[in-house]
Amino acid sequence: MSLVQEKDYGTPASKAEKTVTLTIDGREVTVPEGTSIMRAAAEAEISVPKLCATDMLDAFGSCRVCVVEIEGKGGTPASCTTPVGEGMVVRTESDRLSRIRKGVMELYVSDHPGKWDERNGGGDCELHEVADAVGLSQVRYDASERNHFDAELDESNPYFTFDSSKCIVCSRCVRACNEVQGTFALAVEGRGFDSRIRAGTPVDDFMTSECVSCGACVQACPTEALQEKTVKAKGMPTSSKVTTCAYCGVGCSFKAEMQGEEVVRMVPYKDGKANRGHSCVKGRFATEYAKHEDRVLEPMIRETYNDPWKVVSWDEAMAFAAGKIKDIQEKYGRGAVGGISSSRCTNEEIYVVQKMVRAGFGNNNIDTCARVCHSPTGYGLATTFGTSAGTQDFDSIEDTDVILVIGANPTDAHPVFASRMKKRIREGAKVIVIDPRQIDLVKTPHVMADVHLPIRPGTNVAVLTALAHVIVTEGLVNETFVKERCDADEFADWSEFVSQPGRSPEAVEIVTGVPADLIRRAARLYARGGNSAIYYGLGVTEHSQGSTSVIAIANLAMATGNIGRKGVGVNPLRGQNNVQGSCDMGSFPHEMPGYRHISQDAVRKIYEDLWNVKIDKEPGLRIPNMFDAAVEGSFKGLYVQGEDILQSDPDTKHVSAGLGALELLIVQDLFLNETANYANVFLPGSTFLEKDGTFTNAERRINRVRKVMEPKNGYADWEVTQLLARAIGMDMNYGHPSEIMAEIAATTPSFAGVTYDLLDKEGSVQWPCNEEHPVGSPVMHIGEFMRGKGKFVRTEYVATDEKVGPRFPLLLTTGRILSQYNVGAQTRRTHNTAWHPEDLLEMHPHDAEQRGIRDGDFVKLQSRVGETSLKVLITEKMAVGVVHTTFHHPTTQINVITTDFSDWATNCPEYKVTAVQVSPSNGPTEWQDDYEEFSRRSRTIAPLEAAE
């Protein structure tokens, strides 16, 4: 395995269709109009030295190293800022250019610490490389009297250092922060010799500044002034492979740069089609969990969850688990066991789990974490459009004129895509935000929403239908699109429904809390603004009317014709790295891979013939039904792959009761998580760094995951599932994940053309990928919808049963924060805890003052089903009457508060609307103390001697 090299062309590519032909160093070159001379030279394999230029950033022209000569023109212009011209003749080498470049480099290196020709850093310094390239052999200047050698060293950030003594103030870091990330946390302070890079005020360090630690500045720095601490400690990597991040649904591509089995750094891959060379703090830096001391690397078993764990061999663990499964099915029936697949695992690993449940357990009791996040997306979009996925690729944002964000917080939950959003906004796109909180897209540096609808939690359907009311009654419908692409009778019915006076912005204002004029402004902007795109998240789906809200969003897109081309569409921002793939692979109890219903005889026959089994045509149990059945006594065994359902699912006490009632709970994970407190079998999992396979991101992009180190537990997750399948008597004998993908492609129409060879060749593809779309489908529903005619559906607003009142007067909504991820199992075991060491309850100053609560106080958070305690953060970003917290830390167990209310169609929990009261507290509740003691006891491991 060698290092993956990426060529830097110096400036971004031109998107012009017209081409220009010029001559560079006697070589004829044809490039798009608007291309810089530097990039044209690079494309012709002619190297021009550079320092301030990189193709991730716009041309700047400050270093004066890249100068060239142009025939017929005086001077020596910078090649990075000079566009090509038809017939232009350029020289990149001459005696004059050589003297200029050496003189410039001599000045730079004279103020560089140590001798310029000594590699005294990590070995990744472009300054040294350029000095060599221009032939600099000596430095004549004496910098002993005035220099920057003793400039300050900023080590405040846990992941990288800033050594000002090595900084040449090229501004690449500043420009990366501005242009790529869009945070504007860095600036150049002072002039001339006194100029320097500054991060934040009033305290001058990276950690207390607005820096979000995305790593763009580190990646851009040419001098090792900004450098990863791992590189400083370990030196430069010796090998690398391109793989896919295992955090959120953006699906960023990275070069995992290694020394043997050690990760030195993760570098965002410029050719990654989802991230285009950018990253966030999690994907860029937070991989330490892979070698954390908490990681369990050997199988363990115990008879009951009250017993200590016993470390055993893989064979013994599998025999124990298989024996329990067989005993349970013999005693209670084949439907008494089931499985839950993981959206953190690969498509191939998820596929074999559902296969084991259907073909090995003999039932359809298979579900996935998408149940509790985006199952309404599947139902709503399948109903209206005919397919259960988003419509666009991420590149589509570049053609968007109006961005409508509802129930999503992209800067925290999908930060790399949020950076692309912010860039488009800075270029002129309009923004509509529908959210109870003042998220960053409402107002941050250089970004301000045109309309913010501060909605009351639980009233999405009322607001979306009111938007539709305006569009229909004010004649803003795209009549041509609707006539050509949608069912006419259903549109007429829907149009009559939304036009009723009771659905006007004025009529719903008292319910939603949103002023009618804001709803009207938003509707007009969305309908008239050009290419309009909707992006939504869990603030839409995790409601009792989650499916209705998704349908309402689809109605808006169809009514305005904002579907089926670049720059528009309906785009669910998926939470986990492979939650889209989890759904694609048949992880729901009513669907086979490819979203085909289990009741279809022809679909079942495909798998029955291949697997040589009979498949039950009745849907199995959903996750909430599994808990209910366990408490009732009819469901007795559960296999959980890579999900912490005790921490992530709602109504923790009910989940605890369900898990505690099981006779067998198998947990396959990296760590002894909260769910494992009730387990009888623990099977060690593997990280994304230790396996081959694919992830499918929020834009339906199938990305390769490549193994860069051997599994520390001995097996990739698909191999662990295969061991269990064999133990229960299944004939499952895959030799490599590519064989599993071959089976997926052979049986699933939307994946029919997918192979590892294709993915390696193209980098990635978006399904459907088949004979009709051999390299995938960036945009869906071009010309016609997957279902034929688009389906309009009435969206009657039905208030949630969860009501505020004198006892519980506030509404709690939950969400994520940038530095942590999901239940925190990975990120809590990294330096990301420096930013978010605990869950905090955000509350408006008015609500806090009424309760005598000050910022930082411990408070008791109580609902009708439970209570917990945590510290409060007082902020005007919250609306009066609404509180918000995250669910990243098990010490909070925030889901002990959330109720069992759920979406009417899919059972997706209503996390976003819980009536609560907040009151002063002295510390953890009795329930938290009891739970902590139970958790400590349940993780006891018997001494090895006892195990033997």
Per-residue model confidence as pLDDT tens digits over 446-469? 899 999 999 999 999 999 999 999
Instruction: Specify the pairing of strand 27-32 against strand 366-368.
Output: unpaired
534 CB burial (10 A radius; 0-12, 13-18, 19+)? buried
Q: DSSP letters along 173-216, please? A: HHHIIIIII----EEEESSGGG-EEEE-SSS-STTTSS----SH
Query: How high is the pLDDT of residue 195?
Result: 85
- Vertex 24, ends 21 and 25: CA angle to 5°? 150
Number of Cβ within a 10 Å radius of residue 488: 11
197: which strand partners? 188
On the question of a cis peptide bond just before residue 202, with omega within 30 degrees of 0, the verdict is: yes
The answer to whether residue 777 scores a pLDDT higher than 90 is yes
458: alpha, beta or left, given left = phi > 0 and alpha = psi -120 to 50? left
Instruction: Specify the pairing of strand 858-862 against strand 914-920.
Output: antiparallel
Rounded Cα gap, residues 432 and 536, in angstroms: 12
Query: How high is the pLDDT of residue 122?
Result: 52
Confidence bin at 371 (pLDDT 50/70/90): confident
Confidence bin at 119 (pLDDT 50/70/90): very low
Query: How high is the pLDDT of residue 486?
Result: 97
Per-residue model confidence as pLDDT tens digits over 494-504? 999 999 999 99
Query: How high is the pLDDT of residue 898?
Result: 92
Confidence bin at 132 (pLDDT 50/70/90): confident
**Rounded average pLDDT over 812-833:** 93
Rounded Cα gap, residues 620 and 49, in angstroms: 64
Rounded Cα gap, residues 478 and 526, in angstroms: 12
Rounded Cα gap, residues 910 and 905, in angstroms: 12
Per-residue model confidence as pLDDT tens digits over 166-194? 999 999 999 999 999 999 999 998 888 88
Cβ contacts of 905 within 8 Å, gap of 6 or more: 376, 379, 546, 547
At 595, which amino acid appears? Answer: Y
Contact 656, 676 (CB under 8 A): no
The answer to whether residue 282 scores a pLDDT higher than 50 is yes
DSSP 272: -
Give the torsion sign (CA, 714, 716, 717, 718): negative
Rounded Cα gap, residues 797 and 805, in angstroms: 21
| SS3 state at 867 | strand
Rounded Cα gap, residues 104 and 131, in angstroms: 10
Per-residue model confidence as pLDDT tens digits over 633-664? 999 999 999 999 999 888 899 999 999 999 99
* Length of the chain, in residues: 948
Confidence bin at 245 (pLDDT 50/70/90): very high
Which long-range CB contacts under 8 A does 327-335 form with residues at least 24 apart? 328/636, 328/637, 328/663, 328/664, 329/361, 329/362, 329/637, 331/636, 332/634, 332/636, 334/361, 334/362, 334/363, 335/363, 335/365, 335/620, 335/621, 335/634, 335/635
Rounded Cα gap, residues 840 and 870, in angstroms: 6
Per the prediction, the chain carries an average pLDDT of: 93
Q: DSSP letters along 869-931, please? A: EEEEEE-TTSPTTEEEEE---TTT-GGGTS-S-B-TTT--B-TT-EEEEEEE-SS--HHHHHH
The DSSP element (H or E) to which 534 belongs, if any, is: strand 532-536
Number of H helices, E strands in the chain: 30, 37
Rounded Cα gap, residues 940 and 948, in angstroms: 16
Q: Encode burial over 255-278: b for 16+ CB neighbours within 10 A, e otherwise.
A: bbbbeeeebbbbbbbbebbbbbbb
Rounded Cα gap, residues 575 and 359, in angstroms: 29
DSSP 693: E
Rounded Cα gap, residues 716 and 691, in angstroms: 6
Query: How high is the pLDDT of residue 113?
Result: 73
Q: Encode burial over 823-847: b for 16+ CB neighbours within 10 A, e otherwise.
A: bbbbbbbbbbbebbeebbbbbbeeb
**Rounded average pLDDT over 572-584:** 92
**Rounded average pLDDT over 156-161:** 95
The answer to whether residue 107 scores a pLDDT higher than 90 is no
The answer to whether residue 475 scores a pLDDT higher than 50 is yes
- Kindly report the backbone phi and psi dihedral angles of residue 178, in degrees, each rounded to the nearest multiple of 5, phi listed first: -80, -55
Confidence bin at 1 (pLDDT 50/70/90): low
Per-residue model confidence as pLDDT tens digits over 37-56? 999 999 999 999 999 999 99
The answer to whether residue 856 scores a pLDDT higher than 50 is yes
Contact 323, 681 (CB under 8 A): no
> pTM higher than 0.75 for the full model?
yes
Q: Which residue has the higher pLDDT, 156 or 117?
A: 156
As a three-state string, the secondary structure of 29-44 is EEEECCCEHHHHHHHC
Least confidently predicted of 86-95, 141-150, 373-382, 621-630: 141-150
The answer to whether residue 798 scores a pLDDT higher than 50 is yes
Per-residue model confidence as pLDDT tens digits over 263-272? 999 999 999 9
* In the chain, % of residues over pLDDT 70: 98
Give the torsion sign (CA, 354, 358, 360, 366): positive
Query: How high is the pLDDT of residue 147?
Result: 66
Query: How high is the pLDDT of residue 121?
Result: 44
Per-residue model confidence as pLDDT tens digits over 294-327? 999 999 999 999 999 999 999 999 999 999 999 9
Query: How high is the pLDDT of residue 947?
Result: 44
184: alpha, beta or left, given left = phi > 0 and alpha = psi -120 to 50? left
Separation in Å, CA 568 to CA 459, 531, 561:
24, 5, 9
For residue 34 the two structure tokens come to 């608007």
Q: Which of 635, 623, 630, 638 is nearest to 658 (CA)?
A: 630
Confidence bin at 123 (pLDDT 50/70/90): low
3-state helix, strand, coil in the chain (%, to 5): 35, 20, 45
User: What strands lie across the sheet with 239-244, from one edge to the other?
Assistant: 239-244, 253-259, 262-268
On the question of a cis peptide bond just before residue 768, with omega within 30 degrees of 0, the verdict is: yes
Q: Encode burial over 331-352: b for 16+ CB neighbours within 10 A, e otherwise.
A: ebeebbbbbbbbbbbbbbbbbb
Query: How high is the pLDDT of residue 672?
Result: 95
Cβ contacts of 703 within 8 Å, gap of 6 or more: 244, 251, 253, 272, 274, 694, 695, 696, 697, 759, 764
Separation in Å, CA 686 to CA 72, 80, 310, 369, 785:
63, 45, 20, 19, 39
Instruction: Specify the pairing of strand 596-597 against strand 591-592.
Output: antiparallel
947 CB burial (10 A radius; 0-12, 13-18, 19+)? middle
308 CB burial (10 A radius; 0-12, 13-18, 19+)? middle
Query: How high is the pLDDT of residue 948?
Result: 43
Contact 372, 822 (CB under 8 A): no
Rounded Cα gap, residues 400 and 533, in angstroms: 7
- Vertex 26, ends 23 and 32: CA angle to 5°? 25
Confidence bin at 142 (pLDDT 50/70/90): confident
Confidence bin at 137 (pLDDT 50/70/90): confident
Per-residue model confidence as pLDDT tens digits over 874-922? 999 999 999 999 999 989 989 999 998 988 989 899 999 999 999 999 8
